[in-house]
Structure 1
């Protein structure tokens, strides 16, 4: 079975015949969001018919996979640690199967830049000199209606070489690079919804559309064939995966999309972020079920740390992590996870892509810039030496820094997939070794409070990637900050200075922090304080802070 699958994954695909969508499909997606300039180009009847078809076929499976997540979290919380699956042992032990690998334009991924998809950031990314741009509709984007559909417009125009932007101050932005990065778009995760679009199923039941299917469906419908015609392809980063069953759902969506849009099987390529603890135990299985469409895996470091905290938040003091700044890529559980990722990818012919160091330069402060370059150099040197085939940066000025480290290892080779890392042995115990031996400090608590509040405030104003204290913060890093606060409180932790961490004490720190911030008309700090209290200081632990934040503050009345 595995040998046949390998041949299928690597053979030359032939074009599929386009499937026919139901004539009434468009009428079952209702637009609730306010129209704005050119939004009708993205929300065309034909595009909405395709999004409806995706929901008709896959919405039920999405709900089943989300229920699986809830059961898994319950089991871990009640003492059942994740482990490598017995029922898929044959997949892991079979040495013959391989994945599809890189598509056109993805052969060299040594430096990828990440960022949101507003017009200005899109142009900056395309001019950056990176090999790949992660066009992020997920953690780096605050999912306002304007950002969701406006981001689709930016990508639509960028792919057709027609994107320009003039800032409110009159500064003009246009794409000037001779070679632009290959675009890999990241749709929202399975847990998120799009409440500005209402899906009515064939039985007449209505509810919010899936953010994943909306982001993926609109982008694929409008751009897949155009990308292929231009020598690249419809490529996606897939976020928040927790199991191979979730990965299989995405693979089924890719196959349906190729059949519907008349694309050759295997045209769509995905890179899956391994950014949850359960997924780290199923990397082989994820690669296998997506073998016809997968290019590689990415080490999503910040969400991975958040996943550890979230799953073990109630399991006792031995699972409590210290200050966020102490949880580096060299601590035992992070080291084990990344080494296993490289080994697993390379034995299957897949690319291993490293994560994003949060340090960013400041063009007005040479000392900060020098420190960022030093930190990023060390981080990317470690990744390149460990066998990663590429990495992420969040700022154009860091591209030469990261590229120098990968050039030193790769030379003229596009990757080091042939480096199998047979020296690596990682056990389930290694993946769960969260003992770091460092303290929680009062400064660390204050830092989490300050970062969490400032990020949430910016997110509520529509900014999903925010520079705070010379670090690039997104939803994943904010999740670490608020979940650590929650865990420290509920595990009765004390700071190194002897202070018991309580909700009352942290609430006082929140008040102090807000009083120290620069305020301006229209800021959202009052809302940020309320939300932070709910997601960090409340009795219950929301699975994602963005879920209540979106429903409460970003949905148009």
Structure 2
């Protein structure tokens, strides 16, 4: 019974009893009351930036922080224990089996993801916290399906990704307002585990997603300082890696590191969300139309510029410049196709290490061998902070150069419809990452599919191989043809129908919604027993 705090769900009651303790809820309430007004102001500022972009104002490096970018003297904190060498990081949702397999994968770190690869049912969010708490204390071993899951002696170092600033957690309110999903995820993990992690020689480490401005990084830093004081551990114990996965953030990498410098462990190229953001923020620019998703590679101008600038920025400040995720996963029953897919992975990792990245992401344990071999061969030490990339000169125009070879094809339209339908329907069913056509799809790739369909309809693009214009009616037809093919035991028909109507509505809007996860969250919350009054966007 914590004054002003209400829980609007009875899902996962056992996990609630363990995780939503009075002390933890008091901590969440203190963070909410101290920081949520600032969060709301920063989210409103995002809308103002979009309005200026729609009016034709170009993004640029902030003039008010030129002194930060030009000052060579400041550096970020040295690597925390266990983060000196991050050459391969595996990512995935915090379900119990995934946590054990990822920690045992042989990678250097495991990013337990409460965000894009985890559907935020209340059970997933709370059971995930239980699983991480148990893993840290080495009591996560279990048996299932006749198989034993047991942690190895030296598992990967744990990093946690909370949800982004834009998301609420409607099933918990403080003073009659939903708490920030970011604060909720961070607070529960930190409160229950920070001291235990320090006692074991590590610390509470985080990945921070989807920021769009250095003031959003400042908010995180303020929360870190408040939280460390709250439980009486030294400032600087927390470390955080920021995903640069929005177009505005690419112009503020130095400033983001500066704001978090006492707690920073680097930046990451969140490539798929970055493409999504590039399309979304350029929504009013008909010259920024991109071709089929498969053709938007890391070699196209705006992606290459962003990668080179990120590496240069991180190494100048002595922190990790982490690479991104290859979407390919092993193909078990087709050796030839698997060889082609694994060559794409190897080439991607070779490009990253050759550019100067200090590590890379994988989504499947069987990819670890390939990624580790590439980085072991080409990165002798624990990192490449010494590779300063002083040759790199990236101008503002380079970051928005939308030249991209490729075409919009029938297959591209159908692939986008299938990805958006299949992923979103699985998400509504509680599954936040799915294999589709031997690619691992999560919220970011579904978002690219959604906004590309919108963009192609908005600007009347023509399909190169058929000559047809992409209209709402064409998308309707492809949706109707594709939906029946995706029905399975794990994808409910009613969820497919919800998503089919959602996609049809999206391509008819003047502007695309900011996030499909925000749009669809109401369905998960209602299923958890949460009253609609606590939801911003009940569809």
Q: TM-score, normalised by structure 1?
A: 0.92
Aligned length: 524
> Which segments of 5 or more consecutive residues in structure 2 lack a partner in the other structure?
530-539
Q: 2:505 aligns with which of 534, 538, 545?
A: 534
8 Å contact from structure 1 (residues 356, 393) kept in 2: yes
Q: 1:171 aligns with which of 122, 142, 146?
A: 146
8 Å contact from structure 2 (residues 35, 223) kept in 1: yes
Task: Confirm or deny that 1:261 pairs with 2:231.
Answer: yes
Partner of 2:301: 332
CA RMSD in angstroms comes to 1.3
Partner of 1:188: 163
Task: Confirm or deny that 1:501 pairs with 2:470.
Answer: yes
1:305, distance to aligned residue in structure 2 (A): 0.3
1:539, distance to aligned residue in structure 2 (A): 4.1
CA distance in 2, matches of 1:212, 1:427: 32
Task: Confirm or deny that 1:28 pairs with 2:34.
Answer: no
Q: 1:364 aligns with which of 312, 329, 333?
A: 333
Q: Mapping of 1:122-271 within 5 angstroms? A: 122-167=99-144, 170-200=145-175, 206-271=176-241
8 Å contact from structure 1 (residues 271, 296) kept in 2: yes
CA distance in 2, matches of 1:422, 1:540: 40
Task: Confirm or deny that 1:348 pairs with 2:324.
Answer: no
8 Å contact from structure 2 (residues 161, 207) kept in 1: yes
CA distance in 1, matches of 2:142, 2:172: 27
CA distance in 2, matches of 1:519, 1:133: 30
SS at match of 2:339: helix
CA distance in 1, matches of 2:251, 2:351: 23
CA distance in 1, matches of 2:507, 2:349: 32
1:357, distance to aligned residue in structure 2 (A): 0.7
Q: Mapping of 1:80-479 within 5 angstroms? A: 80-167=57-144, 170-200=145-175, 206-316=176-286, 318-411=287-380, 413-479=381-447
8 Å contact from structure 2 (residues 114, 161) kept in 1: yes
1:537, distance to aligned residue in structure 2 (A): 4.1
8 Å contact from structure 2 (residues 142, 150) kept in 1: no
Partner of 2:533: none
Task: Confirm or deny that 1:59 pairs with 2:27.
Answer: no
Q: Deviations over 1:305-344 (max 9, x none)?
A: 000000112211x110000000000001000000000000
8 Å contact from structure 2 (residues 42, 215) kept in 1: yes
1:156, distance to aligned residue in structure 2 (A): 0.6
8 Å contact from structure 1 (residues 101, 351) kept in 2: no
CA distance in 2, matches of 1:103, 1:487: 43
8 Å contact from structure 1 (residues 186, 237) kept in 2: yes
8 Å contact from structure 2 (residues 241, 264) kept in 1: yes
CA distance in 2, matches of 1:519, 1:143: 21
Q: TM-score, normalised by structure 2?
A: 0.95
Q: Deviations over 1:5-45 (max 9, x none)?
A: xxxxxxxxxxxxxxxxxxx9x32221111142232110000
Q: Deviations over 1:238-278 (max 9, x none)?
A: 00010110000000000001101111110000000000000
